[in-house]
Amino acid sequence: MKSNKQRRAEIVARRLARADRLRVQMKTPQDARGFAVQPGCVPADTVLLARLNNSYGLPSFYLDRPFTCRDCGAQAVWTAKQQKWWYEVVRAHIDSRAVRCLPCRRARRTALAASRAAPGANRLGDEVAWLRAVSAAPPDAQTEARVEAALRSKWDGVRKVAIEVLGRWRRPADLPRLREWAHDESLGRWSAVRRAAAEALAAASNEKTT
């Protein structure tokens, strides 16, 4: 009887062979719709991808992608079905790629879970959870001071949630700052901080005019 490791190796070998066949077939002109029904090739939801990504050359279908694992160096395959789930269900950016094989992904998740279990290990997560909790009620002085500190954080994720808190508080005094962040080009065109500020500003402005 074959072990799980042997069966896994056989599956990877079959996927690699299938990916090689697809790459050869792609070198000759073919009808994309007919090609996309073959094993290892899955049609993409082009409308959804266009809505989620500001990129050119979005795929009309996904192909099995061979890659070398970043951690162990093993050959692996990122299947077309896995890509469709990643880009259209998880809604990750179209430029992201698989970099680790399944065993290494599992090992990394286990290691991360162990590190986060230690007391005080997930300080950023705890801070974000606190920020989201305090956004539902008017702040006191202590809460205001802690949110202000979060707005100066070096971590964009914490700053983004702190800005969302200001948006939910809907205080007129915060509008100038939200407007400044929303138009701050130095943060980058696709900055999460700018997007959060723009959304908070829009929500506050809509409430003001209704």
Tens of pLDDT, residue by residue over 139-174, are 999 999 999 999 999 888 899 999 999 998 989 999
At 38-61, the pLDDT tens digits run 666 889 999 999 888 877 788 888
Question: What's residue 33's pLDDT?
Answer: 47
**pLDDT at 27 > cutoff 50:** yes
Are the beta carbons of 88 and 48 closer than 8 angstroms?
yes
| Predicted model pTM | 0.49
Task: Please list, in sequence order, all residues whose beta carbon lies within 8 angstroms of the beta carbon of residue 74, skipping any fewer than 6 positions away.
Answer: 12, 68, 101, 104
More confident residue, 4 or 45: 45
pLDDT higher than 60, residue 209: no
Angle at 42 between CA 41 and CA 43, to 5 degrees: 130
